Amino acid sequence: MNSGHVILAGDSIFDNANYVPGEPCVADQLGKRLDGRFSVNLIAVDGDYVSDVWRQACSIPERATHVVVSAGGNDALLHAHKLRNDHLTSVDLFKEWSDIQAEFRRDYQQMLDAFLTFRLHTAICTVYDAVPTVSAIEVTALSLFNDVITAEAIARGLPIVDLRRVCVDPGDYSPISPIEPSCRGGEKIAAAIEKMLELHNFSDGRTSIYM
């Protein structure tokens, strides 16, 4: 007998079927792990930015009890090319990235607020940063996005599934597209979400980190 219904929202971290052909996607892996305890519904959309994800809340079914959101990676990718602007001084570069972070914060807050209006047990994921093709400079820039994600989770007392500590090996990323989780990476993500669902006390309003 299912004790709950988990919604996976966000981007291709969850909607990764196209990157693991012939193998189970994250939603299927989570559903298998939670069989008999929770059912799983995927509403995440490959390619969505945070400013798109809030619209997914309209697809949440009435039977939903939990929502896990993984978003932000596409926003970081959108701005990655700006790291290679040789015409800016260091002050101008920091100013530009400060503005990028501020815009992301506004979008992320709006997205979270849209999901929280449903008063469901809600958890969010950080953006992983061990992608084989990502440079050290890009990892540093990515920390600006993850800082927003963790800060907003703490402000709202939401649990965090820290994908930076989950997908740490090259084999965790799809050979089709190295920014997407492989089947092995998806299994790790599903295991971390399962741990969060089993251990987190949503009633105490405290942020805990799961990996």
Please tell me which residue, 36 or 147, carries the higher pLDDT value.
147
Cα torsion angle, 185, 187, 188, 194, sign: positive
Q: Which residues contact 130 (CB under 8 A, 6 or more apart)?
A: 164, 167, 168, 169, 170, 172
User: What per-residue confidence (pLDDT) applies to 95?
Assistant: 84
Report pLDDT for 92: 76
Residue 109 Cα distances to 2, 7, 13, 149, angstroms? 31, 19, 20, 9
In degrees and rounded to multiples of 5, residue 85 shows phi and psi of -90, 105
Sign of the CA dihedral 149, 193, 202, 121?
positive
Per-residue pLDDT tens over the stretch 93-138: 778 878 999 999 999 999 999 999 999 999 999 999 999 998 998 9
Do 54 and 114 contact (CB within 8 A), yes or no? yes
Residue 48, classified by CB atoms within 10 Å of its CB into exposed (0-12), middle (13-18) or buried (19+), is buried
Number of H helices, E strands in the chain: 6, 6
Q: Residue 1's pLDDT band (boundaries 50, 70, 90)?
A: very low
CA dihedral 178, 179, 180, 183 (to 10 degrees): 40
Nearest to 38 by CA among 8, 71, 70: 8
Q: What is the pTM of this model?
A: 0.94
pLDDT grade, residue 87 (50/70/90)? low
In 3D space, the residue among 81, 5, 16, 75 whose CA is nearest the CA of residue 46 turns out to be: 16
Kindly state the average pLDDT of the residues 166-193. Answer: 97
Maximum alpha-carbon separation in the chain: 61
